[in-house]
Structures are given as C-alpha cells and as structure tokens.
Amino acid sequence: MPSFSASAPGKIILFGEHAVVYGQPAIAVPVHQIQVKAIITPNPRGLPGSIQITAPMINLEADLSELPAEHPIAAIIDGVLKALKIPRAPACKLRITSTIPVAAGLGSGAAVSIAVTRALSAFLGQPLPLEKVSSIAFEVEKIHHGTPSGIDNTVITYSMPIYFKRGKPIETIKLKAPFTLVIADTGISSPTAVAVGDLHQAWQAKPNLYDLLFESVGDIVDSAKQAIENGHVEELGPLMDLNHELLVKMKVSSPQLDHLVRIAVACGALGAKLSGAGRGGNMIALVKESKANSVAQALLNAGATRTITTTVRI
C-alpha cells in the first residue's frame, strides 16, 4: 500500500462574518501561502485499526485509540471511515503539519479536517468527492465552533473565492481583477465559539437591532460581490470600513483590532476590517500592491505579531 498526502490552504473571510451565521451571505477566499499537509503511510507492524498520529502544531503524538471520540482528529477519521463504510483502517501513520496559525480566523481547524479527509480516503482507495469532503469537515467544525455557518469548510474544500449563504448551493466568484490584502495577526487567540456564543446572547436580547445589523452586512456583501465581478476593486476598501463598523456594533471587535484597522487606513490602505470571529485573531487591509510592504511594516510596528500579504487572483 503506497503513502498518500493531501494539502489544504488557509482562508480569510473578506466580508460577512457573524452575519453569515444568521443567513446572510459572506465572501471568503483561500490563502495559499499557509497550508496544512497530511501524509498517511502504511504501518506493516501495527495492529488493524491503529493509526499513529503526529501533529506537532498541537503537540499531539498518540494512537487513535488514545484520543477521546470528540477530539477533532478522531472525529474526522471516524467521519471518513463511516462515509466509506470501512469499520477500521489498515494500520498506518498519519502525520499532520501546518503553517496556519491556530485559533486566528485563518481556518486551521477546517484545513486539518480537509487535508486528513482527502489523504485518508485516497489511502483507503476511495477518494471522496469535494461535496462529501466538505460535509464531513462541517460535522467536525461543530466541535470547534458550536454553530458554524459552514463557510470555512466550503472555501477550503473548493480552494476558490466563494460567495456563501447557509443552505444554498456553493457559488464561486469570478474575479475580473486581482487585489492584494495584508493580513495582520493581533497575536491574541480567540476561540470562535466564544464570540459566536456572546453574539447569540446579544441577538436573543435584542433581535430587531441585531437583525438590522446583519441585513446591513448582507447588503455590503452583495455590493462587494458586484465590485469583485466587475473588477472595481477600489470599491472594496470603503465596503470593508463599513463592514468593520458594523462588527464593532456587534461587539465582536477589540481595542487591538480597532487600533490595527486605524493604523492600516492611516498608512494608505484602501480599507480595513477584522476578519473571522474577532475579539483577537486577524484583521485584513486592502492595499495597492505598491503599498503592501509599508502597510505591513506599519502594522508590525503597531503591535501585530505577524503579517501575510496575499494577492487574490483571477
């Protein structure tokens, strides 16, 4: 039995996070500079069903049998075996490596699920179709997130810019012109489930107010989709600023995120916003390519722990 490997990119949400949980659309793009890689090799000396797992980014070195069923890696393996109706895998070793920061809104959890699903199903001789890969990863996202919208597993599985609406068929977005983003990390890890849970409570207390905020985000997302499809990239900047203001009103921003957003705009970005769950994690700034380095440097000087510059291409 040969070895199999698969990789999955990181992702960033351009517009619409949080409101997407409430049925509004959102736009996300893959970030190819960061990725998860899963490699499966047969282990002729192991017992059937034994999967020796190594995942240095989460300090994991264990056999599958030692992990609780709700561990995301155990859950993804279980999801793949169930989908393929295979009671236990032949003994093997699974090594997962990642350059995607954890709990930073860059899709690390979904990317692990997707890389493992693709590598394991190929190893078992039955590579799963993308739709199934995405739905297995979605089940595991529920462990990470509580009530995920499904945007992370969708954009990472299809590895293309997407316009996502819960329960609707996936729509990829055709870019007419490339655009450049600087992604900056606050260095503060922020579990998505906490921000999503707090917002849920706030929405329950004042549903009318929050529904209006979510609808306004939905309008921004639709305008952004048009701008991307028409190649009017510069229009995305002000739309990002507006989306950030609405996220501030939803109380999912933080002083650090607001600071980095202000710095980016003051240093020449066309617009900026938090991205993902908020509270910590990352913000994004839309920049002219010529300004990318100076905006990234300004963000590092202002306290960002890391920046990634990515050009979203046609």
Active-site amino acid positions: 152
| Locus of tokens 């997707």 | 114
**Strand, coil or helix: 69:** coil
**Which residues sit opposite 92 in a β-bridge?**
42, 51
**Strand, coil or helix: 233:** helix
- The one-character DSSP state at 20 is G
Output 1 or 170, the one with its CB closest to ligand PMV. Answer: 170
User: At its nearest, how many Å lie between ligand PMV and the CB of residue 93?
Assistant: 29
Output 152 or 185, the one with its CB closest to ligand PMV. Answer: 152
Closest residue to ligand PMV using C-beta atoms? 276
CA 290 from chain centre, in angstroms, equals: 27
Tokens of 189: 């890890």
Output 80 or 199, the one with its CB closest to ligand PMV. Answer: 199
Which residues would be at the binding site for ligand PMV (CB under 6 A)?
A: 13, 17-18, 20-21, 105, 145, 148-149, 151-152, 192, 196, 276-277, 281
Taking the alpha carbons at both ends of the chain, their separation in whole angstroms is 38
Nearest to 256 by CA among 186, 182, 189: 186
Would strands 51-55 and 92-98 be described as parallel, antiparallel, or unpaired? Answer: parallel
Tokens of 297: 């440097």
Tokens of 245: 């203001």
User: At its nearest, how many Å lie between ligand PMV and the CB of residue 272?
Assistant: 16
User: At its nearest, how many Å lie between ligand PMV and the CB of residue 261?
Assistant: 16
User: At its nearest, how many Å lie between ligand PMV and the CB of residue 249?
Assistant: 15
| Locus of tokens 């995607």 | 100
User: At its nearest, how many Å lie between ligand PMV and the CB of residue 116?
Assistant: 18
User: At its nearest, how many Å lie between ligand PMV and the CB of residue 105?
Assistant: 4
| C-alpha to C-alpha distances, 152 to 25, 78, 88, 230, 260, nearest whole angstrom | 13, 20, 28, 25, 24
Output 79 or 278, the one with its CB closest to ligand PMV. Answer: 278
Output 271 or 276, the one with its CB closest to ligand PMV. Answer: 276
Which burial class, exposed, middle or buried, applies to 123 when counting CB atoms under 10 A from its CB (0-12, 13-18, 19+)? buried
281, 107 contact by CB (below 8 A): no
Helix axes 236-249, 255-266, angle to 10 degrees: 160
What residues contact 160, with CB distance under 8 A and at least 6 apart? 30, 172, 173
Output 91 or 106, the one with its CB closest to ligand PMV. Answer: 106
